[in-house]
Structures are given as C-alpha cells and as structure tokens.
C-alpha cells in the first residue's frame, strides 16, 4: 500500500515515481519560503494591531508613506519570485523527461515523451464515463482497438522500475488522469492526446481518482495501478491475452450459433 496518508498532510503524495518525488521536493522549497513570508506578514499584522491599540497609543503618527520602503518591498517580493522561477526551471526537466528503465526494456518507440535510450512501455489510457480503459503496447496509439492488444479496465498492471509512458485520450467528456504517488495529473480531452510517464517503485498498489468533473458518477471513476515484478507482468500479460482471446472466441461462437439458428 501507499504510505499512510494521515501521517503526511502538509506535502503532496510522492514515493511512487521520480516525477512525483521531484514535484514533492519543488513543493518543499516553496513551502519553506512561504512559511517565512507567512510568519513575517502575519506576525507584523498581529503585532501592529496589538501594539498600536487606541488603549495604548493615544495619538497616531501622521505618516503618508515612504517611497524607499515601497520600492524595497516591491523588489523583495519580486526577488523571491525570481528565485522560485529559477528553481522551477531547474527542476522542470526531471519532471517532464522520463529516465531510462532500470528493468529490462520492453519495446522501442518514437512517440513523445521518451527516456534517453528510447526504450519504454507504452500504455494507452482511455477515459470514458465513468471508467478508465488501458491498452498495453505501442500499437494502441494508432488505434486503441487494435486486435490482439491486451487491455484492462480500472486496474492497470505495470512492471516495476520500468519507464511507462501513458498516452491519454477520452472518448466522451473531459476526464483527468491522476494517481498522486505517480506524479501530476493530465487531462484527458476528447480530440486531443496527452502524455505523461512514471517509473514506479514496487511492488505496490497506487490509488487515484479522475480529477475533472465528468458527470454524476465522477466520484466512482477511480484508478488503481498495480506495480508488479517484470516477470509477473509478463505472466499477467500472457494470461490477460489468453482470457481476452477465449472470451472473443466464445463470443464468435455464440454469434455464429445465433446466426445459424436465426436469432441474430
């Protein structure tokens, strides 16, 4: 399971994937700066309201302003933001660009985004009211209904230590793919394909929710990412393929039976 959410309520979730960890550390830098600003501003406010009550201070100093002070706090505020900008752009590549897989690679593809050696696992994520469908294998990007590609619903199975690139689409309304421990959210917008990636630490089960209002049962559009060992992944993939094949042949048999007997 993901680490207990209760213990950690002041920072975003992380620990599942390098991009989530990088966002977490960027967040922490902002948090420290923000804490200092918060203490100074609120402290000055509380102190001045307490210290300069009419009870204590009979006459107010008639000050109209101080240009030097105005300029200095404008510059100070701007300087903090310059620092944050620089830090963000330093951190950005590690959030945007996937690293190489540490597990044996699974396939090679030219689609963006890509780790340096270009070797990754592609999974297509299709949003629909109110469930996620996952198609495994790069062929899914040309046509998510390509025959022979294994697929699953709601629960995604991935190998640990492998750079997984998600190609995200929607077939109805806007959804948003989000598994907090595996990085930030990406909207699934009909007519667009969006991408994200993760390189999951496992074995673990990560929990996520659709993050964009997609209708009445939006609350139940959840996602599970089951991170297993590469060997277990291959075994699962083979089994899933067989199950789908069996089900497909059963449907074909049923259809031909129904056609033969004139019921279809």
Partner 1 sequence: MSVIAEPAARPVAGAVRPVPEVLTHEVARTRTSKRWVEWIVTTDHKKIGIMYLVTTFVFFMLGGVEALLMRVQLAEPSNTLLSGERYNELLTLHGTTMVFLFVVPVMAGFGNYFVPLMIGARDMAFPRLNALSYWLLLAGGIVFYATLFWHPPEAGWWSYPPLSSIQYSPSGGQDAWIFLIHLTGISSLLGAINFYATIVNMRAPGMSWGRLPLFIWTILVYAILLIIALPVVAAAVTMLLTDRHFGTHWFDPTAHGSPILWQHLFWFFGHPEVYIMVLPGFGIISEVIPVFSRKPIFGYKAIAASTAVIAFLATLVWAHHMFASPVPVVVLGFFMLSSFLIGVPTGVKIFNWISTLWRGSIVMTTSLYYAVGMIAIFTVGGITGIFLAVFPVDWQLNDTYFVVAHFHYTIFGGAIFPVLAGIYYWFPKMTGRLLNERLGKVSFWFVFIGFNATFLVQHALGLTGMPRRIYTYQPGLGWSTYNLISTIGAFILAVGILMTVVNIAMNYKTGPLAGPDPWKGNTLEWFVPSPPPVNNFDEIPRVRSVEPMRDIRRQIERNTGVRQKTGGSERFARA
Which CB, 153 or 220, lies closer to partner 1?
A: 220
Which CB, 50 or 261, lies closer to partner 1?
A: 50
Contacts of 128 (CB under 8 A, 6+ apart): 170, 171, 172, 175
Task: Specify whether the CB–CB gap between 195 and 120 falls below 8 A.
Answer: no
Burial class, 15, CB count within 10 angstroms (exposed 0-12 / middle 13-18 / buried 19+): middle
CB of 20 to partner 1, least distance (A): 8
Task: Specify whether the CB–CB gap between 236 and 157 falls below 8 A.
Answer: yes
CB of 139 to partner 1, least distance (A): 22
CB of 240 to partner 1, least distance (A): 26
Which CB, 34 or 247, lies closer to partner 1?
A: 34
CA-closest candidate to residue 1, choices 21, 20, 15, 18: 15
Which CB, 23 or 157, lies closer to partner 1?
A: 23
Report the C-alpha gap between 35 and 33 in whole angstroms. 5
Which CB, 175 or 236, lies closer to partner 1?
A: 175
CB of 202 to partner 1, least distance (A): 19
Report the C-alpha gap between 114 and 99 in whole angstroms. 8
Q: What are phi and psi of 107, to 5 degrees?
A: -165, 170
CB of 263 to partner 1, least distance (A): 32
């Amino acid at each position: 399971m993901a680490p207990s959410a209760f213990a950690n309520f002041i920072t975003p979730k992380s620990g599942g994937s390098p991009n989530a960890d990088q966002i977490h550390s960027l967040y922490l830098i902002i948090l420290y700066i923000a804490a200092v600003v918060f203490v100074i501003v609120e402290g000055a406010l509380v102190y001045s309201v307490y210290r300069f009550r009419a009870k204590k201070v009979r006459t107010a100093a008639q000050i109209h302003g101080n240009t030097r002070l105005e300029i200095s706090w404008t510059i100070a505020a701007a300087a903090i933001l310059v620092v944050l900008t620089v830090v963000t752009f330093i951190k950005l590549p590690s959030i945007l660009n996937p690293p190489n897989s540490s597990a044996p690679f699974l396939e090679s593809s030219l689609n963006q985004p890509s780790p340096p050696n270009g070797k990754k696992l592609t999974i297509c994520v299709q949003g629909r009211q109110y469930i996620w469908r996952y198609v495994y294998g790069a062929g899914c990007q040309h046509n998510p209904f390509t025959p022979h590609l294994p697929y699953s619903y709601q629960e995604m199975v991935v190998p640990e230590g492998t750079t997984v690139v998600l190609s995200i689409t929607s077939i109805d309304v806007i959804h948003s793919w989000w598994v907090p421990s595996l990085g930030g959210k990406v909207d699934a917008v009909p007519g667009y394909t969006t991408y994200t990636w993760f390189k999951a630490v496992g074995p673990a089960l990560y929990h996520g929710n659709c993050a964009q209002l997609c209708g009445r049962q939006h609350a139940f559009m959840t996602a599970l990412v089951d991170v297993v060992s590469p060997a277990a992944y291959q075994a699962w993939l083979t089994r899933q393929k067989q199950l789908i094949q069996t089900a497909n042949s059963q449907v074909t048999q049923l259809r031909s039976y129904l056609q033969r007997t004139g019921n279809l």
